[in-house]
Structure 1
Amino acid sequence: MATGTTDTTDPLWYKDAIIYELHVKAFKDSNGDGTGDFRGLIEKLDYIQDLGVNVVWLLPFYPSPFKDDGYDISDYRGIHPNYGSLRDFRAFIREAHRRKIRVITELVINHTSDQHPWFQTARRAKPGSARRDYYVWSDTDTKFPETRIIFTDSEASNWAWDKVAQAYYWHRFFSHQPDLNHNNPQVVRAVLKVMRFWLDMGVDGLRLDAVPYLCVREGTNNENLPETQEVLKIFRKHLDMHYTGRMFLAEANQWPEDVLPYFGSGDECHMAFHFPLMPRMFMALRQEDRRPITDILDRTPPIPDNCQWALFLRNHDELTLEMVTDAERDYMYREYARDARMRLNLGIRRRLAPLIDNSRRRMELLNSLLFSMPGSPVIYYGDELGMGDNIFLGDRDGVRTPMQWSMDRNSGFSKADPARLYLPVIMDPVYGYQSVNVEAQERDPSSMLRFMRRMITLRRQHKAFGRGSLDFIRPDNRAILAFIRRYRGEILMVTANLSRYVQPAELDLSEFKGRIPVEMIGRTEFPPIGDLPYFITLGPHSFYWFRLESPAEPIKAVRAAQEELRKTPLLALDEGWDTLLQPEHLFTLGHEVLPPYLALQRWYRGKAREITSCHVIDWCKLGASFYVMLIRLQYDAGSPEDYVMPLKIVLGRPAESLAQEIPDSVLALVRTRRGEGILYDALMDRASYDILLTAIGDERQFTTQNGGLIKAVPAGLYEKLVGAGHAVRSVRKVGAEQSNTSIIIEEALILKLYRRLEAGINPDVEMSLFLTEKSRLNSIARVAGTMQYRYPAGEEATVVMLQEFVPNRGDGWSAALSWLPDYYEQAEKRLAQGETAPTMDRPLLSATAMPAEPPDAFIAMAGPALQAIETLGHRTAEFHLALTEEKKNPAFKPEKATAAYTQQLAEAVTRQIQEALAILTAKSASLPPGPGADACRILFEAPSLLERVGSIALIGEKLGHRIRHHGDYHLGQVLLTETNDFIILDFEGEPLRPLSQRRGKGSPLKDVAGMIRSFHYAALTGLADFAGLSMKAGEKVEKNELLPWARAWYEWMSNAFIGAYFATTAGAPFLPAAETDFILGVFLLEKVFYELNYELNNRPDWVHIPLAGIIDITLQQYDRQKRTT
């Protein structure tokens, strides 16, 4: 039975891994025997967690004679008694997983110890028998002459004589480590059992040691054989068949092109070490030239998308120089290992700090490259401190000394007598444990440990480092290494100075013109990128990480028009906020500042009514100079409304900059004793989002001035969606007009502020949480958390919802407007050639039974739009079907429509149309001539429309099941993804309706009607835009000449949407039993009159579109239907 594993929802977790390599024996001794153990490791897991790494890689801990520090395994299924027991190991796995730390262990399958029972049996078995063939035997030591010797310092041959077997056995490493014979299927099966033993324990990954040498074949060099690849495919197939979220890490010390086969087609090893890069980083540093790094990475071939490189600076072995030329090896020895005792085999046995003369700058630089290059970084224990080594110890023991925890005896590693330690601690004056230890560095804010923690935290916040592409920038100055990392819209730039001296560089960043480089550690903004090469100066061995951010996107409006409406008021506030929060100044804020500001905001809903009073009813402070005001508006008619205003005051030069950048978000000028500034919308300040995200993650509560409460609540997916660390470096406002304010954070999250406070359950939050937690729907944005305001009387209202941001190409509305210019350009040409518009020759709503086939001419003109709209129809259907699956929750359980409900529906739709007609009657005289004429016709046709709508009551129970649905469905509520699919958003419902109605159940055909109306809006808006552009270009096209072509686009897109929707929902219980086209037609009328009401009250300039919809489309559809029936 597997010990609990970490979250397996992301199968590519290893791409974001930061791996900490350690030896159990070297980390912490819990029982005073001089050797580290699993109980000691458990004691120090909090240190590993605080370091920020999310994966621990354990060196071998199995029973072993320890002739090769545990890589000579004598029992694959045990724990060396010095380290504890299997029970201790299980406890370690549980504790690591509880801290969200994954565990990688060694699967040393190329060889065993000569004390392993398999070998002891094989040496005594009959030649040619199955047991004998667990290993590779020969009567001569001259077989495989093409194979190189790896350990040249200690071995003269790859064959060793065994007196018991009276034969030679094959070994690629030490002679006491005979190689297993993976050409034998029985060996492969035996290894699979070992693999499953540890995976069942809960191990997340297996490092496959020395994989290039698994199989042998005469006439080859016995490295990288196809037979080895087949063995690895067997292992991987077995892994994928029985486990999820597990990983293989290959140790293949080969050139990058030779390592590529170990990934296969993504069906062998998930990860592999990039051995050749490591020595070249040290070469580049010493030569002060980027070429060793750029050359090897240019030579590195692409790997499968589900695979990853593992990068490292140092590890438990020597700094291997196998994958360098002879000249490069000589150079490395000369520069980094002048003392022969520092050398071992074909490498250098030194830790990171001594290699680079304990230079703090160079350590920071090398680690910055380790964390920013393509791959997952591996940190060797102690290197986060700058630990030293002991070259006077044998073999590779010099880099495997005890972890240095404190200045106490034995560096706090063990209470044993120093003579009993498995190896002595480092005691020299520079690297000794008295100077270099965890306790001291945790207290020093400028220590290497603190630096590493900061860099690891920063690295984990940006997936572009682990998953992004790599593009080198090649300035003339070769001492400068610069490259771009990109992932899902995030663009990072890394610059590093490999020289001992200050260096200038001119970087060609023309591709990123207009973007602002923001240094990621201090969040310092550099000058925007312009037309000229970007000039930068770097100090000796220094580096910068930049995020290339787009300029902020404040609300755009016609400033000249605003100056006519509002003169920015001046507030004299001696002490800033302290003065503003006094009653007399709050009164001024409510009566002189807020009303004219609100009148210009898109999200303000009361434009059709006159404000009679505006009061601040409550407020609280969320952070430095960050306040939330709750205001109540009284009107000349109707109920009052409450709104949320997050506000900040800033003074001095930042205020001048903000006033220029976001003038539409400035409420007032401010004059204080400390200087002049502005009062502005806090959502335009990036720092606000650090506060909001942290509040949600920490479940903070803020008591308000008048006894209310703002409480932040994380959802179950908060940690997965937001991750560790919330330093926000880029925010941008959603450009589309909407009734709330939405801000995209780090291209990963979207924060929606509900401007109008409404007591009760918010349908947007309720629906989003339900679909996140209860459905398998992929076409939604999952919820990370919310913020609620509790009134002093106890009622609650939603203030904020935080969701994942889905990378996309814009909403459906933007997509439609981008498709239409090409369509109208073709229409214009066809019109000039005498062609007529390819409108439908049958009623549009007949598509509910059988969609019409669009003519070839329209298909050619529509381009990708037609297929996209069909996909939208399918996704809409799947969304509605997901809302039929709930059986218990009464808020989402479907209900049968009754005759009484259908009667109420008829009355409600009739009443809504009558209300819109009343407003139209009152305002028709003030409309321009064209819309005014349309209004007169609508008022004339009103009785027949109302009669038709009322007849829906006769449908009764045949209406179909009532379910929850979107409620305000249109092209602006869906996002077009990079794969031409759609994400459905904003389940708030129609803003003019009360919450109780928006949470109600009804026919999902209302959503279908809403989308059809959106196609009409798009067709006419696109035509208006096209005509305006054409006139500017001198192409005088009369708008009405293309109206039939607009109708054709609207009809055929609606036909495609309806056809796909009803094909997917066929047989669904929410579909009407009869007269589907008539019912959908009633919902179309309901929707278009809602639009009329909304535009008259909120966007008078748009009123011509619903008027044209009623005249030119809705009524004509019914007229056409009458003519054809």
Structure 2
Amino acid sequence: MSEAVTRTVTTPPGLLASLDPLLREWLPRQRWFAGKGRPVTGFTLVAATELLPPTAKLGLYHLLVRAHQPLLPGHGGPEQPGDCYQLLIGVREALPPRLAPALIGHVTRGPLAGRTVYEALHDTRPAELLLEALRTRARIGGLRFDRDPRQEIRPGLVPRLMTAEQSNSSVVYGDTFILKLLRRVVPGINPDLELPLALAREGCPRVPPPTAWLVADPDESPGPPPRAEPYVLGVLQPFVQGATDGWELALRELAKGEDFVAEARALGRATAEVHTALGRALPTVTLGHPQLRSMVDGMSERLEAAVHAVPALRPYAPGLRSAFTALDDLAAGGRTWTAQRVHGDLHLGQCLRSPAGEWSLIDFEGEPARPMAERRMPQPAVRDVAGMLRSFDYAARSADRPHPEWAVRCRAAYCSGYAEAAGRDPRTDPVLLRACETDKAVYEVVYEARHRPEWLPVPLAAVRRLASSEQT
């Protein structure tokens, strides 16, 4: 293996100030920007690294910037240092037509005055540079490119940016690897790297093993602790060529009127295999009444906030609340549960089916809206199961003509497949399963009301079922 390449860099002063007016307009338009509906009023530079010095042809900067936004839209309230975003900024004299969709804007002042800046992942050379840095384990400024020495990365793989991403960005290299770059980043251990590494150590074939990863150490200054925790910025994994994600596959089968039961059963087995491997690889804990009470309190608080935000939930609140109190009553009676590390945001879109028919699970970062510490907490494995059950319901109701009976069959097959691999059927713990599915449906109601009102009937249909005694 080649020795790591280390290069110190100097970023020109005034760089962020010169980009500020352009980023204020461009950043909120990106699909992965989380602060929609609130204007960006400024930025704080967390870290800046010059990956290529600006020449007549091409320059490249890696930035971590924190966007400042008002606390609430239209209230003129206090600004808060908001989310931190990873940006790759390309610099050219002018953009060729092929890069026109990547335009950020034309800089009028500062060190890049007179130049054009753009989203560099659309450009071949910057994407190639990232892979080469990972291959050679480079260290450039505060950026550390590292990899598994047992896996080979061939040079010269041709990159292409995937266009279907939403919360992150992905580049495929020669149908061999896929580099997922996290856009909204937080310091500390990221489960999107932590859990696949643990599963790779267990030899679990259901998750592509990390080949390489990119980390930032934004605080490189000497001095006593505490120093800033590193940011995990990206993970390179094998690309499953010809794979179809579970959401696309389910909708395709629905459109053709085909059954999805066999696939749902296989997906249940794959989920159970991942849970079993995670339970072996990382510590598990026992949840007694104090721990369950904390979990139930969180569910109840989210329900109260959701009822306040979405008045359509109000008629169902007592029935939904009963799902949580029933779980608390079981725990008060002495029932305990095992908690472990889980996927955290499992749905059909987080699953890939290879042309050979094998299922893989991807994207282990958890729900991006939740704090990182919460995403890394052990949870009952049924939380993942509940997420998948809700996903079958979404697929069935998103068809031109809703097929609720299709979802019922898929839900049953998924649980049966899970039982075949895990030795326990999630349906044998109906109180916990109902509570977790209720919590997920409440989250969905708030999300759809804010972002996709036309989809609101989908989770509301589940809310009506979950609020009653009818369970399927």
TM-score, L = length of structure 1: 0.37
Name the CA distance, whole Å, in 2 between partners of 1:960 and 1:999: 18
Q: Does residue 1:1090 correspond to 2:467, yes or no?
A: no
Superposition deviation, residue 764 in structure 1: 0.8
Q: Which residue of 1 aligns with 2:269?
A: 874
Given that 2:323 and 2:431 are in contact with CA atoms closer than 8 Å, whether structure 1 keeps it comes out as no
**Letter paired with 2:125:** A
Deviation beyond 6 Å, 4+ runs, structure 1: 671-677
Q: Which residue of 2 aligns with 1:335?
A: none
Name the CA distance, whole Å, in 1 between partners of 2:393 and 2:12: 48
Q: Which residue of 1 aligns with 2:189?
A: 761
Q: Which residue of 1 aligns with 2:461?
A: 1112
Given that 2:445 and 2:459 are in contact with CA atoms closer than 8 Å, whether structure 1 keeps it comes out as no
Name the CA distance, whole Å, in 1 between partners of 2:330 and 2:125: 56
Picking from 574, 587, 595, the partner of 2:17 is 587
Alignment of 1:697-712 (within 5 A): 697-703=135-141, 709-712=142-145
Picking from 90, 97, 104, the partner of 1:667 is 104
C-alpha distance after superposition, 1:561-620 (max 9, x if no partner): xxxxxxxxxxxxxxxxx9x9542x632422x21122122212111115443322334311
C-alpha distance after superposition, 1:277-303 (max 9, x if no partner): xxxxxxxxxxxxxxxxxxxxxxxxxxx
Given that 1:587 and 1:615 are in contact with CA atoms closer than 8 Å, whether structure 2 keeps it comes out as no
Alignment of 1:591-606 (within 5 A): 592-606=21-35
C-alpha distance after superposition, 1:891-918 (max 9, x if no partner): x112222211111110011112222333
Name the CA distance, whole Å, in 2 between partners of 1:657 and 1:1067: 53
**Letter paired with 1:655:** P
Superposition deviation, residue 1096 in structure 1: 4.4
C-alpha distance after superposition, 1:46-67 (max 9, x if no partner): xxxxxxxxxxxxxxxxxxxxxx
Q: Which residue of 2 aligns with 1:788?
A: 215
In structure 1, the gaps of 5 or more residues are: 1-97, 100-577, 704-708, 824-860, 887-891, 922-934, 1024-1041
Given that 1:669 and 1:677 are in contact with CA atoms closer than 8 Å, whether structure 2 keeps it comes out as yes
Q: Does residue 1:1103 correspond to 2:436, yes or no?
A: no
Superposition deviation, residue 1117 in structure 1: 5.0
Given that 1:907 and 1:950 are in contact with CA atoms closer than 8 Å, whether structure 2 keeps it comes out as no
**Letter paired with 1:1020:** R
**Letter paired with 1:741:** S
Name the CA distance, whole Å, in 1 between partners of 2:113 and 2:468: 68
Given that 2:316 and 2:467 are in contact with CA atoms closer than 8 Å, whether structure 1 keeps it comes out as no
What RMSD in Å do the two structures reach over aligned CA positions?
A: 2.7
Superposition deviation, residue 655 in structure 1: 2.5
Q: Which residue of 2 aligns with 1:1000?
A: 377
Q: Work out the percentage of aligned pairs sharing the same amino acid.
A: 26
Q: Does residue 1:904 correspond to 2:333, yes or no?
A: no
Name the CA distance, whole Å, in 1 between partners of 2:399 and 2:169: 25
Picking from 230, 236, 251, the partner of 1:802 is 236
Q: Which residue of 2 aligns with 1:530?
A: none
Over 3 Å counting, the alpha-carbon distance change for 1:898 and 1:608 in structure 2 is: farther
Q: Which residue of 1 aligns with 2:346?
A: 969
Q: Does residue 1:649 correspond to 2:91, yes or no?
A: yes
Name the CA distance, whole Å, in 1 between partners of 2:105 and 2:234: 25
Given that 1:783 and 1:802 are in contact with CA atoms closer than 8 Å, whether structure 2 keeps it comes out as yes
Picking from 1061, 1084, 1090, the partner of 2:418 is 1061
Name the CA distance, whole Å, in 1 between partners of 2:24 and 2:449: 20
Q: Which has the higher contact order (CA 8 A, sep 6+)?
A: 2
Superposition deviation, residue 1076 in structure 1: 1.0
Name the CA distance, whole Å, in 2 between partners of 1:919 and 1:655: 46
Q: Does residue 1:894 correspond to 2:270, yes or no?
A: no
Name the CA distance, whole Å, in 1 between partners of 2:205 and 2:47: 39
Secondary structure of 2:310's aligned partner: helix
Name the CA distance, whole Å, in 1 between partners of 2:44 and 2:145: 25
Name the CA distance, whole Å, in 1 between partners of 2:112 and 2:69: 38
Name the CA distance, whole Å, in 2 between partners of 1:629 and 1:822: 46
Q: Which residue of 2 aligns with 1:192?
A: none
Q: Which residue of 1 aligns with 2:199?
A: 771
Given that 1:1088 and 1:1109 are in contact with CA atoms closer than 8 Å, whether structure 2 keeps it comes out as no
Over 3 Å counting, the alpha-carbon distance change for 1:632 and 1:915 in structure 2 is: same
**Letter paired with 1:994:** P
Name the CA distance, whole Å, in 2 between partners of 1:641 and 1:1088: 26
Name the CA distance, whole Å, in 1 between partners of 2:323 and 2:264: 30
Q: Which residue of 1 aligns with 2:168?
A: 740
Name the CA distance, whole Å, in 2 between partners of 1:615 and 1:594: 12
Picking from 1080, 1085, 1090, the partner of 2:433 is 1080
Given that 1:752 and 1:800 are in contact with CA atoms closer than 8 Å, whether structure 2 keeps it comes out as yes
Given that 2:127 and 2:159 are in contact with CA atoms closer than 8 Å, whether structure 1 keeps it comes out as no
Q: Which residue of 1 aligns with 2:121?
A: 683
Q: Does residue 1:949 correspond to 2:324, yes or no?
A: yes
Over 3 Å counting, the alpha-carbon distance change for 1:675 and 1:995 in structure 2 is: closer
Given that 1:902 and 1:955 are in contact with CA atoms closer than 8 Å, whether structure 2 keeps it comes out as no
Over 3 Å counting, the alpha-carbon distance change for 1:674 and 1:867 in structure 2 is: closer
Given that 2:198 and 2:278 are in contact with CA atoms closer than 8 Å, whether structure 1 keeps it comes out as no
Over 3 Å counting, the alpha-carbon distance change for 1:737 and 1:1050 in structure 2 is: farther
Over 3 Å counting, the alpha-carbon distance change for 1:678 and 1:655 in structure 2 is: farther
Given that 1:877 and 1:1064 are in contact with CA atoms closer than 8 Å, whether structure 2 keeps it comes out as yes
How many aligned residue pairs are there?
Answer: 442
Secondary structure of 1:961's aligned partner: strand
Name the CA distance, whole Å, in 2 between partners of 1:639 and 1:1086: 29
Q: Which residue of 2 aligns with 1:914?
A: 304
Name the CA distance, whole Å, in 1 between partners of 2:119 and 2:177: 20
Superposition deviation, residue 781 in structure 1: 0.8
Secondary structure of 1:1094's aligned partner: helix
C-alpha distance after superposition, 1:396-422 (max 9, x if no partner): xxxxxxxxxxxxxxxxxxxxxxxxxxx
Superposition deviation, residue 752 in structure 1: 0.9
C-alpha distance after superposition, 1:744-771 (max 9, x if no partner): 1111101011111201100110001111
Name the CA distance, whole Å, in 2 between partners of 1:939 and 1:1118: 11
Secondary structure of 2:447's aligned partner: helix
C-alpha distance after superposition, 1:1014-1051 (max 9, x if no partner): 1122222232xxxxxxxxxxxxxxxxxx44xx211221
In structure 2, the gaps of 5 or more residues are: 3-9, 54-58, 72-79, 220-226
C-alpha distance after superposition, 1:206-264 (max 9, x if no partner): xxxxxxxxxxxxxxxxxxxxxxxxxxxxxxxxxxxxxxxxxxxxxxxxxxxxxxxxxxx
Please identify, of 985-994 and 1046-1055, the stretch whose mean Cα deviation from structure 2 is larger: 1046-1055
**Letter paired with 2:146:** V
Secondary structure of 2:212's aligned partner: strand
Given that 1:644 and 1:757 are in contact with CA atoms closer than 8 Å, whether structure 2 keeps it comes out as yes
Q: Which residue of 2 aligns with 1:884?
A: 279
Q: Which residue of 2 aligns with 1:987?
A: 364
Superposition deviation, residue 678 in structure 1: 3.3
TM-score, L = length of structure 2: 0.86
Q: Which residue of 2 aligns with 1:811?
A: 245
C-alpha distance after superposition, 1:733-790 (max 9, x if no partner): 1x43431111111111010111112011001100011111x21211111111111111
**Letter paired with 2:453:** V
Over 3 Å counting, the alpha-carbon distance change for 1:675 and 1:651 in structure 2 is: farther
**Letter paired with 1:753:** L
Name the CA distance, whole Å, in 1 between partners of 2:422 and 2:42: 50
Given that 1:868 and 1:981 are in contact with CA atoms closer than 8 Å, whether structure 2 keeps it comes out as no
Alignment of 1:494-509 (within 5 A): none
Alignment of 1:283-682 (within 5 A): 581-583=12-14, 586-590=16-20, 592-624=21-53, 625-637=59-71, 640-652=82-94, 654-659=95-100, 663=101, 665-669=102-106, 678-682=116-120
**Letter paired with 2:168:** N
Superposition deviation, residue 677 in structure 1: 6.2
Name the CA distance, whole Å, in 2 between partners of 1:761 and 1:1076: 32
C-alpha distance after superposition, 1:74-129 (max 9, x if no partner): xxxxxxxxxxxxxxxxxxxxxxxx99xxxxxxxxxxxxxxxxxxxxxxxxxxxxxx
Q: Which has the larger radius of gyration?
A: 1
Name the CA distance, whole Å, in 2 between partners of 1:586 and 1:674: 10
Name the CA distance, whole Å, in 2 between partners of 1:612 and 1:959: 48
